[in-house]
Amino acid sequence: MKTPKIPAADVRSFLDATAGQPPLRSMAIADARAAVRQMPALLDSPPDPSVKSDDVSLRIDGTRQLRARVFVPEGMTAAGPSIVYFHGGGWITGDLDTYDSVCRAIAARTRLRLVSVDYRLAPEARFPAAYEDALAATRLLLSARNPIFSKTDGVILAGDSAGGGLAAAVAHELRGDSGVRAQLLLYPVLDVAGRGSSYSECAEGYLLEAADMECFIEAYVPDHTQRSDWRCSPLLAESFEDLAPLALLACGFDPLRDEGRHYAASCSKAGVNVHFVEAPGHIHGIAMLRLAIPSSQEILDRACAGLMALL
């Protein structure tokens, strides 16, 4: 797919307005996390009040607990699958509050229950910690002893950016499990070992920069010998057969664009039912930029509609 030479008009306005802001890679970890926590109030649509929420704890490994937030939209079909969502943030930032509005929007659009799951962050917890948390949470939510999903029909593995990569990796681990109904991946990180041409084409000037990704990858997977492990690079998995149906959103002005394209193509070649959406004039992170970039809402809606068409 050919990418236009210039971003969409509202994307360009946003980039012009934010030019000169210090990149996350230049900040101390605590400052970067604080900056990301402030973003929704400034840049994203207000949380949908029609979607109810409740904070819960997921006990995993018998000893540890993960924070989670359950979202229940109006008109939810009780017998439908439930979405398990892993937030983005380069494995080093992000939490339940930061992604609250995004999760409400997805729950409202799909009319499905959604559980947003926190996980350990780098550099305090490096690979495979985030993956292990995502897998453990998913297995718990699929298990008979889980009270949250007791009346639902399986799960949809979902996430954006780093969280999209976690969802994809869990989908590979659980290939062939009938309880995993689909995947919803928003501009996911799928290959921390390689760098597609979009890394050079979109290296600077489009919010997420190639140097940011290098910093994030170094924090999460500092051991270069581990970067070809499919648990952090699902695009490098040996097989894509028997994966759950895939809805994937890629953005034209995103260093991660090419790995999204290649992942969707690999899944399709392996016989996986794929709904691929590319937003050619848009940038990474648009799901949480819907106030600053109004056209983002329609794109998120298209991705959600594609997911529902797969079920």
For residues 116 and 166, is the Cβ–Cβ distance under 8 A?
Answer: no
Residue 87 among the catalytic residues: no
Give DSSP secondary structure letters for 11-70.
Answer: HHHHHHHHTTPPPGGGS-HHHHHHHHHHHHHHHSPPP-TTSEEEEEEEEETTTEEEEEEE
CA–CA gap between residue 86 and residue 70 (Å, rounded): 12
Residue 161 among the catalytic residues: yes
CA distances from residue 138 to 11, 69, 292 in whole angstroms, order as listed: 35, 14, 33
* E strand or H helix that includes residue 250: strand 246-253
Residue 275 among the catalytic residues: no
Instruction: Select which of 45, 161, 198, 296 is catalytic.
Output: 161
Beginning with the edge strand found earlier in the chain, give each strand of the sheet holding 180-186 in spatial order.
52-60, 64-72, 114-117, 82-86, 155-160, 180-186, 246-253, 274-283
Instruction: Select which of 87, 172, 275, 284 is catalytic.
Output: 284
Token representation of residue 189: 């990180």
Can you say whether the dihedral through the CA atoms of 157, 153, 45, 52 is positive or negative? negative
For residues 160 and 190, is the Cβ–Cβ distance under 8 A?
Answer: no
| Residue 274, strand partner residues | 246
Closest CA to 283 of 196, 203, 191, 216: 203
CA–CA gap between residue 78 and residue 72 (Å, rounded): 10
For residues 303 and 186, is the Cβ–Cβ distance under 8 A?
Answer: yes
Instruction: Select which of 254, 258, 275, 296 is catalytic.
Output: 254
Closest CA to 168 of 237, 113, 91: 237
The residues that are catalytic are 161, 254, 284
